[in-house]
Amino acid sequence: MEILEILSSGGYVSGEEIARKMGISRAAVHKHVLKLRAGGYGIHGEHKRGYMIVSRPDILSPAELERYFSKEDSARYHIYYKESDLSTQVTAKELAGRGKKEGAVVIAEEQTKAYGRLDREWSSGRGGIWFSMVLRPEVPPERISQLTLASSVAVCRALERKLGLEPEIKWPNDIMIGEKKLAGILTEMSAEVGRVRWVVIGIGINANNELPFALKDAVSLKTLVKADVNRAELLAGILEEFGRLYDAYGKKGFKALSREYNRRSTLPGKRVRVNWGNEVSFGTVEKIDADGCLRLLLSGGIRKKIIAGDVTLLKG
C-alpha cells in the first residue's frame, strides 16, 4: 500500500501501522512523510498518535484523482501525469501512435506549447485543467466530430454538478459562460478510409489559472466562483460523465445525446457567420441535427448542413 492511501483514510495513523502496512521501517516512513510534505501535503506528526493529513495540494496527480474516481473509472482510465508538458495533445498522440490502449489520459499542470483548433495558440499556465484522452472508438471517421460534442456535454454536466454553474455550448465545442469562453475542446484522429485508428480529445479548462490580459473573451472558474476550485474533483467528474456518455454513444450513437446537446446550445435561433473549409456562410441556426451537424437557414430560404466550422455570432 502507498503511504498516501494509508493516510487518506482520515485521522491519525501511527508510524508503526504505516510501517507494517508498507512493509518498511519507521525511519523509512518518516522519509516518505518528508517527501509528501515537500510535495505540498500538510501532515501533522504527533508523538504517540502518529501522522495525519491536514491539507492537500491542488494538483491533478493520479493519487489525487483516485480519491474521486469510482472503481469503474479507476479501471477505465490510465493516467499519465506531467508537471509540465509541451502539449498533452502531442504526448497523447504519441502514446496512441505507439499503440496505448483506449483510456490513456495525459494530464499536465502546465503546457508550454499548447494549441487549439485551427492551430491557434492555447494559453495553459499552472492552475488550469489541461488533459488529452486516447480513444479507439468503433465509429466511421466521418462521425468522430460527434465525440467532440459528447465531450462538451460531459464538461457541462460536471461543471453543473460540481460547481452549480450553467455553462452553454457554442457549437461545436466551446464551453461558454455568457459571452466568455471557459473551456475548449480539440479532437484529432488518425484514420484510413472507413476506419479510425485512434482519436485524441484534448480539453482545456480555465480553472485556477491566471488568464493573459489579451484574452478578453475568456473567463476562468476562479473568477466565476470567486475562489479556487477543487480541480481534481472537477476533472474526475468530467471523466466520469464522459465515460457514461461514451458508453451511451457506443450503443445508440449521437441520438443518445442530441437532445441534451441542443438544450445546452447557445446557437439555435442566432444569426451567425460560419467559416468552413474555404467557404463562408451567413444565416440563422436552426438546430444541431441528429448527426451533430449545424443546420443553417440562409437568407433566401436555402438550408445548409455543416459538419465542422468556426462560428461567429452576428450582432442584431
Examine residue 120 and tell whether it contacts ligand BTN (CB under 6 A). Answer: yes
Cell of 237: 467528474
DSSP 8-state symbol, 108: E
Binds ligand BTN (CB under 6 A): choice among 169, 186, 199, 245? 186
Least gap, CB of 92 to ligand BTN (angstroms): 8
Examine residue 167 and tell whether it contacts ligand BTN (CB under 6 A). Answer: no
Q: Which residues of 137-171 are buried (b: 16+ CB within 10 A; e: fewer)?
A: bebebebbbbbbbbbbbbbbbbbeebbebebbbbb
CA distance 281 to 311: 10
Examine residue 152 and tell whether it contacts ligand BTN (CB under 6 A). Answer: no
Binds ligand BTN (CB under 6 A): choice among 7, 89, 157, 159? 89
Taking CB under 6 A as the binding criterion, the range among 117-125, 247-255, 278-286, 294-302 that sits at the site for ligand BTN is: 117-125
Examine residue 111 and tell whether it contacts ligand BTN (CB under 6 A). Answer: yes
Binds ligand BTN (CB under 6 A): choice among 116, 167, 172, 283? 116
Taking CB under 6 A as the binding criterion, the range among 72-80, 126-134, 142-150, 154-162 that sits at the site for ligand BTN is: 126-134
Among residues 155, 145, 168, 139, which one has the least CA distance to residue 239? 155
Longest dimension (CA), the chain: 82
Taking CB under 6 A as the binding criterion, the range among 123-131, 135-143, 209-217, 296-304 that sits at the site for ligand BTN is: 123-131
Q: What is the DSSP string of 196-226?
A: EEEEEEEEEE-SSSPPPTT-TTB--HHHHHT
278 Cβ partners below 8 Å, 6+ apart? Answer: none
Examine residue 95 and tell whether it contacts ligand BTN (CB under 6 A). Answer: no
Binding residues (CB under 6 A) for ligand BTN: these are 87-89, 111, 114-117, 120, 122, 124, 130-132, 174, 184-186, 202-204
